Amino acid sequence: MTVSGVGALPLPKYHQIYLVLREQLAEGRFAAGLPGELALAGQFGVARITVRKALAQLAAEGLIDRAPGRGTVPRAPAAHLAPPRTRTAARRGESRAQLTGLLENIVTMGLATKVRVLECHTVPAAAAVAQALRLDRGAPVQKARRVRSTREGPLSLITTFVPAALAQGFGKRELAKKPILILLEEAGVRIGRATQTISARLADADAARELEVTVGSALLAVTRLIHDTRGRPVQWLHGLYRPDRYEYQMQLSRVGSIDAKVWVSKALHAQFH
């Protein structure tokens, strides 16, 4: 899979690679350092000089440090790039969804699709994960990656993080059979509320392979933080969805006086095909 397969994006190849790497840095994917230029060139199917130009742009923005003999490393935890909830959204209460309806639709989708578990193991919480789940950095969390599919093919690539203490009763075998929210409830967790952000991402080589799209393709990106009834974070989810097979539909109504009518959501539905 190569970046050149993206004909719809009017962007130079190096800039497409820059965007993909920037998103991965924001997710804390390179805590131990970025792959070398040759590895990245092979991953994206481009010349080494193209990768070098993308890295130079990241370095110019202060996102990475490059030093001979030390490789390329993130300059600092990239919380300012794409935090679990942006500071603006946290202040304004944006990108929030009511629990009723939303999580019911999520569970319904989980029961109506097939899942393939790519990995499920306990890992130390990276900075972004620890921040979202209110844990100490390095605390044990269960990381699981799954691909959900319909009869038409892959639908989504989901990565979830759950505090290890809450995930002791389920693993790869259970995740292949039941939605994780059901497993959490069976483990005694009382699901309370969820906050959600919907945005767009470009497919990196891994997502492109699992979702059967080209590198650099536009994907629907969902970040969801689920709390229990006591307000404790119990799951942090990153989902990448094929926009040609998945969509959100919201029913809106206007409330308030004539001078201050606003749109509010009454229901949220997830549709897939």
> Which residue segments constitute the domains of the chain, with CATH numbers given?
10-74 (1.10.10.10), 104-244 (3.40.1410.10)
Least confident span in 8-22, 42-56, 179-193, 255-269: 255-269
pLDDT at 88: 38
Q: Where are the beta strands (DSSP E) in the chain?
A: 64-67, 71-74, 96-97, 114-124, 140-150, 153-163, 191-202, 218-228, 233-241, 246-255, 262-272
Under 8 Å between Cβ of 162 and 191: no
- Would the pLDDT of 267 be above 70? no
pLDDT at 240: 93
Q: What is the pTM of this model?
A: 0.63
pLDDT at 6: 39
pLDDT at 93: 36
Under 8 Å between Cβ of 29 and 36: no
pLDDT at 113: 74
